[in-house]
Amino acid sequence: MSDEVKCDKPVCDKFVAVNELARRRGFYWNSYEIYGGAGGFVTYGPLGTRLKQNIENKLRELFVKQTGVMEMESSVITPGKVFEASGHVDHFKEPMVECVKCNKRFRADHLLEEYANISSVQAEKMTLDEVQAALETNNITCPDCGGGFRPPQQFLTMFETTIGPYSGATGYGRPEAAQGIFVEFNRLYSAAREKLPFGVIQIGRALRNEISPRQGLLRLREFTICDLEFFFDPEEPCCHLLKEVEHETLPIVLCEKRERCCEDITIFTVREALDKKIVRSEWQAFFMAMAKRLLTEIGVPAEKQRFIEKLPWEKAHYATQSFDQEVYLERYGWTEVSGHAFRTDFDLGCHMKACGADMRVFKEYPNPVETERLVVKPNLAKLGPVFKKETGKVGELLSKADPEVVEVALKKDGFYVVEGYKVFSEHVQIVSQKVVERGKRFIPYVVEPSFGSDRLFYVALEYAYGIKDDRVVMSFSRSIVPVQVGVYPLMSKDGLAEKAQEVQRQLVQAGFMVEYDEAGSIGRRYARADEAGIQLGITIDYESLKEDTVTIRDRDSWCQVRSQIKTLPELLQKYFQRKINFEDLGT
Amino acid sequence: MSDEVKCDKPVCDKFVAVNELARRRGFYWNSYEIYGGAGGFVTYGPLGTRLKQNIENKLRELFVKQTGVMEMESSVITPGKVFEASGHVDHFKEPMVECVKCNKRFRADHLLEEYANISSVQAEKMTLDEVQAALETNNITCPDCGGGFRPPQQFLTMFETTIGPYSGATGYGRPEAAQGIFVEFNRLYSAAREKLPFGVIQIGRALRNEISPRQGLLRLREFTICDLEFFFDPEEPCCHLLKEVEHETLPIVLCEKRERCCEDITIFTVREALDKKIVRSEWQAFFMAMAKRLLTEIGVPAEKQRFIEKLPWEKAHYATQSFDQEVYLERYGWTEVSGHAFRTDFDLGCHMKACGADMRVFKEYPNPVETERLVVKPNLAKLGPVFKKETGKVGELLSKADPEVVEVALKKDGFYVVEGYKVFSEHVQIVSQKVVERGKRFIPYVVEPSFGSDRLFYVALEYAYGIKDDRVVMSFSRSIVPVQVGVYPLMSKDGLAEKAQEVQRQLVQAGFMVEYDEAGSIGRRYARADEAGIQLGITIDYESLKEDTVTIRDRDSWCQVRSQIKTLPELLQKYFQRKINFEDLGT
């Protein structure tokens, strides 16, 4: 963890301060408190829900509206077969140990990290035997009662359930939204009018049954994931949108440095990263640049963002090249907010193999190609006397068989078996034949940017958090601020409240997120608004009644300008679209 | 089911036609087809996801923006205790039978409906013994193999799982979003600045492990629910927004008619329904009127909507008065799209009892009230010799005890037991005392409108579906249309495509949902767009290059007008806000 990076506004522990504020003002809190709580589940309150939606909508704006990616929605509960095929049932596991005395269970890698200073990166490489050895060597015992541990075992971190009334029908809560996209590839390809490249995003709930969740919003059992799968032809890997981001810089910590335990950041432009083959896919580089833009919009300055190239043993089982986008957090240091995996044809290939459906796409050659190909020709005259009524079927099976496999079998064993029918050399001919091929079928390649919505949310909170004159001010970025405008009558008498409600209605009608507040002194109301991060405060005073004007107050500078009521909708629209600044709102 | 109600555009079976179109154009389809499908799960494709989001956002607009209800988000996976307290573990069950021969399982009430003409309303009233008797009397056997059935049993229709690594920690997939609101009442009340009335909505996934799901989108195992819980003081039940809807009409099928098997609709204004005590809560009537508005916005005319008052045995275990909002569907007749339950203090009361947390709110009296009250006075001098060191504790327990309960116990048994301590008459005095009360604590009452997002979605599809000149035209309501504008170059040469892409970019920038299409003849593109329900088609032709104008085509009338490119964003904005009509878009 790098020590040079420091936050501008030091608080004792920002994580604690942010969480305290979040709970108090209803951004989010730990769920089910009245029942003693349930680790790994959070509830978003009114302000939090709106902030989270704004972040997700910003993501939609960048990827769906601007990049043209399609959105879809599938189910959280997923039939077991899907995650067997995808490799999750085999790989989505964590090493767990159980205390022999108190039977409490712990994540072994967390114990190693905490009590033996073995990093998660190192622990990930270990086998169960090595984990056990490391626990013993370091004399690690149960943190609760000091007891020893039973041998470590792998714990499947998917939630398991049964679909329908039959006990055999296992279902899992999806740990990612990606598989929901892959299994529907054929329909999505058709929705994309059978043209590559195209992308599909799914923003939805995902579940991971963590052994011991911790770190608040950073490691939840239920969370919102935004998985974007971008499909392209590996023979045409160019990104036609690259020119829009090619001068954007990507701060990367390279594998070669990380292997030497060095965390130095190298800065490449998107173009350089591709030319130097640091990033292998143009689309992957494009999405990394877009991810940086997203985080900037959420309020994280460029120098608090970086990408780390994943080491071979850190990568998920499906990825050939992976980068994690990280943001610097005060308590936890560099923390992953998005993953960028080059999944190639792994997932579609797995599902094809598991279910037999053809998930390849057809690519027409510019000109049809004439090739010579071996084919199996069944000799029906010889097959007839042996297979009688079934001759037709056997013939058909043989003509579909792989000629090389048949040839090898006949040479090696003297016979070949297809679906239980045994045939001999005399029954078939392997001949070379001319075929005209109009095109070919192939499995598209995939790059995947994947964002954790709850982490983006936490990052937005931490980077908005600041102290001014001993008061908390949540300086949310203008594009995600949960409440855009607060409307306050100076007093609740003399018709000021009615006038203020009129302004509020006008702004709600114009589509703004508005809050009305008439309780307490105007100073207290401003303070309350700053804590909730309300961007602008509109105050209706006695002059408003005479001149039809209001004051507008800026949350961050506390400056005020005066403006005509009738111009507010248009001015505010321009302001929130960042076309004008606060000073342009009035005099 | 009423036969008088007919759809304007008859198709052989609209349900089939709508589903076929939905699958083909990527609105939605049955999930996991490549693995043989999984009943009760659907996937929303690109067009469907957008339509569903637009419907949910329309709901937000009506309830969150305009009515001021707060939104929240909590987890799908819920600790078992929550649904034990809420009564779901006891009540959320369906009668199931299993075939003795093939072991297949069926919902008993569905079998009775299908093979014995016993309506679901009647079946809901039956005990398991009565179900068994009805199956036998009607000679109902396994529809698959003809075998007999084992005795019916109750099947819990919640998905069950385990939270974390311990087998005892049962969790359920929530079958509704409401409990997520109730358990967080104290925090939400604080976010509402401790003032009644206030409402909280949660729009999110819910799970019901149906025994045999059917009817496409109408009965899913995983679906999106929109539960709105509105909390108010039962002593101040007036709805301050009532005047906005009081003249709105509510078409209601009353209980008294339904009991006589009559389905006649009586039309009341909101005001009348309240005055005649047809609807018992003003807030409930308000939300019923809003629900009618929502369905109208989604495209369902008033005469295809009705509310039915639920019969005593049809109501959920938590409701005292319930109405279902129904929409007429071609295949299924009147179909529920929202429920309106008067839940009183049932849910908060259940959780208070189960977890011991105080979920009452404090209400100050206008003036403090001096009352006489019985209190228990422990006699410490007499307690001391008996309870020694524990005297203090026993004294405290006694002074907190209910005076009437203590009095009755002493009279009846001669003693009273508190937490294991046995006391006699000499140890306490029951005296009347003057107390000044500043206010009182009470549990708020709740009315709940609850919408099924997937049903609203299906209704929107069916009501949009129409045939014009033998072609499908999806006439979505302007406020929820998934794609607002299609942009088409007349030809893809001579700079027309570039000009069209410029127009597209301009409209995307202005915030519209736009699709660009240059493939095939303009006629084919219009046909494709009509099927996807694209509201307006903007065509760039040779005149566009000279005059900077375009034609705009209306999806429903197929009329065209000509308009200046530079005025498009403003004109279209007004058009989609329903401020102007199609004719006003150009000449």
Higher pLDDT pick, B554 / B398: B554
Q: Give residue-wise pLDDT tens across range A315-330.
A: 776 667 899 999 999 9
Closest chain B C-alpha to A103 CA, distance in angstroms: 10
Tell if the CB–CB gap between A76 and B222 is shorter than 8 Å: yes
Rg of chain A, C-alpha, whole Å: 30
Does the B14-87+158-348+446-453 domain belong in CATH 3.30.930.10?
Answer: yes
- Can you give the pLDDT at residue B318? 67
Domain with CATH 3.30.720 in chain B: 366-439
Mean of the pLDDT values across residues A563-568?
Answer: 96
* CB-based burial label for A484 (10 Å; 0-12, 13-18, 19+): buried
| Residues with Cβ within 8 Å of residue A12, at least 6 apart in sequence | none
Residue A432, class by beta-carbon neighbours within 10 Å (0-12 exposed, 13-18 middle, 19+ buried)? exposed
pLDDT surpasses 70 at B550: yes
φ, ψ of residue A454 in degrees (nearest 5): -65, -35
- Give the chain B residue nearest A81 (alpha carbons): B35
Closest Cα of chain A to B186: distance in Å? 9
Residues in CB range of B535: below 8 A, 6 or more apart = B476, B478, B481, B483, B484, B485, B554, B555, B576
The residue among A57, A75, A174, A577 with the most chain B CBs within 10 A of its CB, best to mutate, is A75
For A528, residues 6+ apart whose C-beta sits below 8 A from its C-beta are A517, A520
- Sorting pLDDT into bands at 50, 70 and 90, what band is A401? confident
Test A45 with B163 for CB contact under 8 angstroms. Answer: no
3-state secondary structure of B574: helix
Predicted local confidence at residue A521, as pLDDT: 94
- CATH ID of B366-439, from 3.30.450, 3.30.70, 3.10.450, 3.30.720: 3.30.720
DSSP for B528-568, please give it: HHHHHT-SEEEEE-HHHHHHSEEEEEETTT--EEEEEGGGH
Q: Where in chain B is the domain with CATH 3.40.50.800?
A: 483-585
Query: With contacts defined as CB-CB under 8 Å, which chain A residues touch B55?
Result: none
* Residue B49 to residue A26, Cβ atoms within 8 A: no
A155/B43 Cβ within 8 A = no
Mutation target to probe the A interface, by most A beta carbons within 10 A, among B23, B29, B32, B34 is B34
With beta carbons less than 8 A apart as the criterion, state whether B45 and A72 touch: yes
Nearest to B161 among A46, A161, A164 (CB): A161
Q: Which residues of A touch B193 (CB under 8 A)?
A: 519
Q: How confident is the model at residue A418 (pLDDT cuts 50, 70, 90)?
A: confident
pLDDT of residue B365: 92
Give B163→chain A minimum CA distance, Å.
7
Mean of pLDDT values over B475-481: 96
pLDDT at residue number A12: 66
| Nearest chain A CA: its distance from B505 CA (Å) | 9
Residue B120's pLDDT band, with cuts at 50, 70 and 90, is confident
CB B448 within 8 A of CB B404: no
CA distance A93 to chain B (A): 12
Q: Give the closest of A23, A161, A212 to B159, CB-based.
A: A161
From A180's Cα to the closest Cα of chain B, the distance in A is 8
Query: Alpha helix locations (H) across A452-495?
Result: 453-464
Domain topology for A93-155 = Herpes Virus-1 (3.30.40)
Q: Which residue of A has its CA nearest to B508?
A: A65
DSSP three-state, residue A524: helix
| CB-closest option in B32, B41, B46 to A191 | B46
For A511, phi and psi rounded to 5 degrees? 95, 10
Q: Cα A332 from chain centroid?
A: 20
Task: Say which residue, B383 or B400, is predicted with more confidence.
Answer: B383
Q: Are B483 and B532 contacting, i.e. CB atoms less than 8 angstroms apart?
A: yes
Alpha carbons A310 and A296: distance in angstroms, whole number = 23
Using the beta-carbon criterion (under 8 Å), do B105 and A166 form an inter-chain contact? yes
CATH code 3.30.930.10 region(s) in chain B: 14-87+158-348+446-453
Q: What is the SS3 assignment for B43?
A: strand
Distance (Å, whole) CA B419 – CA B233: 34
Does A222 sit within 8 Å of B77, measured CB to CB?
Answer: yes
Residue B229 corresponds to which tokens in the numbers above?
A: 């819980």
Look at A164 and B211 and tell me if their CB atoms are within 8 Å: yes
The amino acid at B327? V
Per-residue model confidence (pLDDT) at position A318: 66
Among candidates A215, A202, A98, A220, which has minimal Cα distance to A157?
A220
Give the separation between CA A174 and CA A159, rounded to whole angstroms. Answer: 8
Mean pLDDT calculated for residue range B490-505: 94
Distance from CA of B367 to the nearest CA of A (A): 21
> Using the beta-carbon criterion (under 8 Å), do A35 and B81 form an inter-chain contact?
yes
Task: Tell me the H-state helices in A61-99.
Answer: 80-85, 88-91
The answer to whether B55 touches B457, Cβ cutoff 8 Å, is: yes
Which of A367-376, B527-536, B568-577 bottoms out in mean pLDDT, i.e. has the lowest? A367-376
* Angstrom distance (rounded) from CA A547 to CA A529: 26
- Contacts for A117-125: CB closer than 8 Å, 24+ residues apart: A121/A311, A121/A313, A121/A314, A123/A95, A124/A313, A124/A314, A125/A313
State which CATH number among 3.40.50.720, 3.40.50.620, 3.30.40.230, 3.30.70.120 fits the domain covering B93-156. 3.30.40.230
Which residues lie across from A99 on neighbouring strands? A149
Separation between Cα atoms, residue B336 and residue B306, nearest integer Å: 9
Distance (Å) from the alpha carbon of B509 to chain A's nearest alpha carbon: 8
Superfamily of domain covering B483-585: Anticodon-binding domain (3.40.50.800)
Nearest residue on chain B to A82, alpha-carbon basis: B35
Contacts of B581 (CB under 8 A, 6+ apart): B575
Give me the helix-helix angle, A128-137 and A108-116, nearest 10°. 30
- Do the bridges between strand A266-269 and strand A560-564 make them parallel or antiparallel, or are there none, so unpaired? unpaired
Report ipTM (2 d.p.). Answer: 0.88
Q: Which of B38, B73, B210 sits opposite A43 (nearest CB)?
A: B73
Burial class from Cβ neighbours inside 10 Å (0-12, 13-18, 19+) for residue A511 reads middle
Q: Quick check: B291 and B450 in contact, CB under 8 A? A: no
User: Which residue in A348, A352, A299, A355 sits closest to A327, CA to CA?
Assistant: A299
Give the model's pLDDT for residue B6: 39
**Closest CB to B71 among A46, A82, A354:** A46
A323-351 burial, b at 16+ Cβ within 10 Å, e below that, comes to bbbbbbbbeeebbebbbbbbbbbbbbbbb
Q: Give contacts of B165 with chain A, Cβ < 8 Å.
A: 96, 105, 155, 209, 211
Tell me: the pLDDT tens digits for A243-290? Answer: 999 999 999 999 888 888 888 999 999 999 999 999 999 999 999 999
Could you give the residue range(s) of every CATH 3.30.720 domain in chain A?
Answer: 367-439
Q: Which residues pair with A71 in a beta bridge?
A: A201
Model confidence pLDDT, tens digit, residues B163-208: 998 878 999 999 999 999 999 999 999 999 999 999 999 999 999 9
CA dist B564 → B100, B502, B546, B571, B573 (Å): 73, 14, 11, 10, 15
Structure tokens at A136: 């013993």
- pLDDT of B9 > 50? The answer is no
* Chain A residues whose beta carbon lies within 8 Å of the beta carbon of residue B81: 35
- CB–CB of B32 and A78 under 8 A? yes
Compute the mean pLDDT over every residue in chain A, rounded to the nearest whole number.
Answer: 92
For CATH 3.30.40.230, list the domain ranges present in chain B.
Answer: 93-156
Question: Domain A367-439: which topology?
Answer: 3.30.720
What is the CA angle B175-B178-B183, rounded to 5?
A: 110
Asked if the Cβ–Cβ distance from B35 to A77 is below 8 Å, we say: no
Q: What's the gap in Å between the CA of B244 and the closest CA on chain A?
A: 14
| Cut 0.90: pTM above it | no
Single-letter amino acid code for the residue at B33: E
Residues in A closer than 8 angstroms to B156, CB to CB, are none
Q: Is the pLDDT of residue B5 over 60?
A: no
CA–CA separation, A209 and A227 (whole Å): 19
Query: Which chain A residues are closer than 8 Å to B443 by Cβ?
Result: none
Q: Tell which wins on pLDDT, B315 or B501.
A: B501
State whether B183 and A71 contact (CB < 8 Å).
Answer: no
Q: How does DSSP classify residue B65?
A: I
* H/E segment holding residue B200: strand B198-207
